[in-house]
Every structure is written in structure tokens, then in C-alpha cells.
Amino acid sequence: MRQTGKVYIVGAGPGDPELVTLKAVRLIGAGDVILYDRLVGKELLAHAKPGAELIYCGKAPGRHAMQQEMINKALVAYAQEGKTVVRLKGGDPFIFGRGGEEALELAAAGIPYEIVPGITSAIGAAAYSSIPLTHRGSAASFACVTGSRCRGGETGIRWDLLAHSVDTLVIYMGVSHLPDIRQELLAHGKDASTPVALIERGTTNKQRTVVGTLADIHELAESQRVKNPALIVVGEVVKVREQLAGLEQQALAEYGYGEMFG
């Protein structure tokens, strides 16, 4: 009787291939089958062993290589064949990664599985943009929320609470809905002067950061043609980026180097 394999649901980090755990690299090298997402760096797939089956199952807005139900069934089927399966997901599997759905499907089918966390884009992209999500004196809390469900007034997201209950808001998958998100926050009392950063392709060599306020960020996003994948950071911590840049320029002028602050 063939022994059931095991599935590893692995976080690949936010884009920079060096922001991945040693455990993730080891498992990629051990996988018989690797199902990988759109934002997984191709450099990570180079760690796969010869003969490993690589299956692209990425999702872009309006274009899904595989529907989630198909992915779930594939994980179960390959494991039932006795294979070691690696489900490689951008960021962290349990932060807007639908890793919980995949784990539930595996558990219901009696398939052994393990979750391997990864650096989520909120942490990685903000750090690479010199924006601390918490900062003494200005931010003691932050919340991560998806912006993809922002459709007019029926969002299912409590923007009225988020506008005032946390210091820093990090919004995933929200750039295409930025005017709606902005309007929700303003309608629920968020100050128009609140700093906002848009981080496009965070932690990659194509990273770009656009900074403005709630008053003008939608216009800046349009004029700068900011596209997904991008992250929205709302809060006073965005000002730290400018402060660090100023200090770096000062260090460059006074001491002749500008790498002090990363």
C-alpha cells in the first residue's frame, strides 16, 4: 500500500529571494512537486531538485492560472500519490494567502501537513522603504487589512473602527480601490493630512515608493501610474522615512558616506 505523502505550506517572503528561511530553502530542495504563486521569486525555484515537478498556480487580478478549489484538490491528490508537496506562497501563508483554506482541505482529507511561516509584505516592504510600522511617540499599534473588498458602501470592512482604533494601517491589494479606501477613511474622520505611502513591488530591485497624504494620494497614484503588487501604508510613521533620508544626506555631507541608515 502506497504511503501518503506530506504537504508543506511554505511562505516565500515578500520578493527579495534572500528574505526566506533556511527551512523554506531546504523544503524546496526536497519537494517532489512544487506549486508556486505569481509573486514567488524565480530564484527560489532554482533550489528545486532535478526532476521536481514545478506547477505555476498564480493569481493576477482577473487572471487565475488555477482556481483555489483546483489548487486544494491538487495538493490532496499529489500527497495521496505519496509525494512530498511544497505549496510555495508569496509572503506568509496565513496573511491574506489563503493558506488556512488549504490547510483545512488537507486536514479534512487526512493529509499530513506543516506550515512554514514567511516574512509578509507589510513587514518587508515597509522596512525596505524605511517606514517603521510602530514608532515610539507616534505609533504603538498597526493593523493589516485587505483593500480588495472595498466596493462602495458594502465593504465588510469596519473602516469606521480602523480609522481611529490603530495608529498605522497597512492595506494589501488596495491600489485599484484607492479612491474608495481614501473616501472611507475620510468619511469616518481620518484627517486629510495623514501621511500615506504606496510601496510598489516591495523588497525587489523594482521597488518604488510614492509618498503623499490622504488628501492627494489618489492623484499621485494615478500620475505616477502605481500598479499592483503594491502596499498602502497610512499613518504618521510614514514621516520617519523622510526624517531618515534627511539624516542620511546630512551624514553624506558631513562624513562622506550615506549608507548609515540602510
| Phi, psi angles (nearest 5°) of residue 149 | -100, 10
pLDDT (mean) for 76-104:
97
Is residue 118 within 8 Å of 228, Cβ to Cβ?
no
Quick: pLDDT tens for 57-71. Answer: 987 666 667 899 999
The residue among 42, 261, 236, 15 whose CA lies nearest residue 122 is 15
- Distance, CA of 150 to CA of 96 (rounded, Å): 15
Q: Is the pLDDT of residue 253 over 80?
A: no
Q: Position 111: which residue type?
A: I
pLDDT (mean) for 93-122:
97
Confidence at residue 259, expressed as pLDDT on a 0 to 100 scale? 52
Confidence at residue 60, expressed as pLDDT on a 0 to 100 scale? 67
Q: Is the pLDDT of residue 261 over 60?
A: no
Q: Is the pLDDT of residue 81 over 60?
A: yes
Domains in the chain, CATH or no CATH each:
6-119 (3.40.1010.10), 122-243 (3.30.950.10)
CB count within 10 Å of CB 212 equals 17
* Number of helices and strands in the chain (H, E): 9, 12
Mean of per-residue pLDDT scores for the chain: 92
Q: Is the pLDDT of residue 150 over 80?
A: no
What would the DSSP string read from start to end of 178-236?
HHHHHHHHHHTT--TT-EEEEEESTTSTT-EEEEEETTTHHHHHHHTT--SSEEEEEST
- Distance, CA of 187 to CA of 98 (rounded, Å): 30
Quick: pLDDT tens for 165-185. Answer: 999 999 999 999 999 999 999
Q: Is the pLDDT of residue 46 over 90?
A: yes
**Catalytic residues, which ones?**
37, 59, 173
Confidence at residue 252, expressed as pLDDT on a 0 to 100 scale? 74
